[in-house]
Amino acid sequence: MSLPRIPSSPRNLQLPNPSLAMPNRSSRPARRRRRISRLRQMLMGLLLVTAGIALLLVLLRLPSQLDTVLLVSTAIANLIKGLTYLGLGLLQLAGVLAVALVALVALVLLGAGLSRWMRALAPDAPSKGPGPRGQRRAAPPLDPQPLPPEFEADPSLQWLRSLRNGDTGPPFR
């Protein structure tokens, strides 16, 4: 039995080929790099050398116009002062958040207390009958089973006999 042949379309499906994902240099078409002219290279080099010399001359004149040590020490002092201000700002923010948290707790406590007062002062609503909250479970009935004869003479079970007789049991120590 042979499978039916699917008619081919003018555009065939092309699956990805893993070998084409990372082409090697031999499969890539060679691109010619454009060569920069000698005159342009010389002008660029002269421009770069001139810029470097100008920056060095500016740096050499800098100490005569301002005190470099004073500049560095002032920058360090300003950095320390800024960090101090940042720390103080964070501490103040933490203080504000703590005060806000205390105020929120106070409001929650006030609301809880007022709702308890309202519940205590309000007349009791008629109950709707025994529900899961309205009905208290009674203690299970005590159905004393007779002790086996070998335990009747045991003095350590004296408290169990007293419970069976209706006493409250031995006092707790």
Residue 15 lies in a domain: no
Would you list the DSSP string of 92-147? HHHHHHHHHHHHHHHHHHHHHHHHHHHHHHSPPPPP-SS-TTTPPPPPPP--PPPP
Q: How many domains does the chain have?
A: 1
pLDDT tens digits, 55-77:
999 888 877 777 778 888 999 99
Q: Phi, psi at residue 123, to the nearest 5°?
A: -65, 150
Instruction: Identify the domain containing residue 52 by its residue range.
Output: 38-121
Report how far residue 84's alpha carbon sits from residue 78's, in angstroms, rounded to the nearest whole number.
Answer: 10
Average pLDDT over residues 87-106: 96
Six token digits for residue 50 = 């001139």
Residue 159 lies in a domain: no
Residues 91, 85 contacting (CB under 8 angstroms): no
Residue 95 lies in a domain: yes
Residue 72 lies in a domain: yes
Residue 50 lies in a domain: yes
Residue 44 lies in a domain: yes
Residue 103 lies in a domain: yes
| CB neighbour list of residue 146: distance below 8 Å, 6 or more residues apart | none
Single pTM value for the model: 0.36
Residue 25 lies in a domain: no
- pLDDT for 157 equals 72
Residues 156, 164 contacting (CB under 8 angstroms): no
Residues 134, 127 contacting (CB under 8 angstroms): yes
Task: Give yes or no for residue 116 having a pLDDT over 60.
Answer: yes
pLDDT tens digits, 146-160:
767 777 777 777 776
Report how far residue 78's alpha carbon sits from residue 72's, in angstroms, rounded to the nearest whole number.
Answer: 10
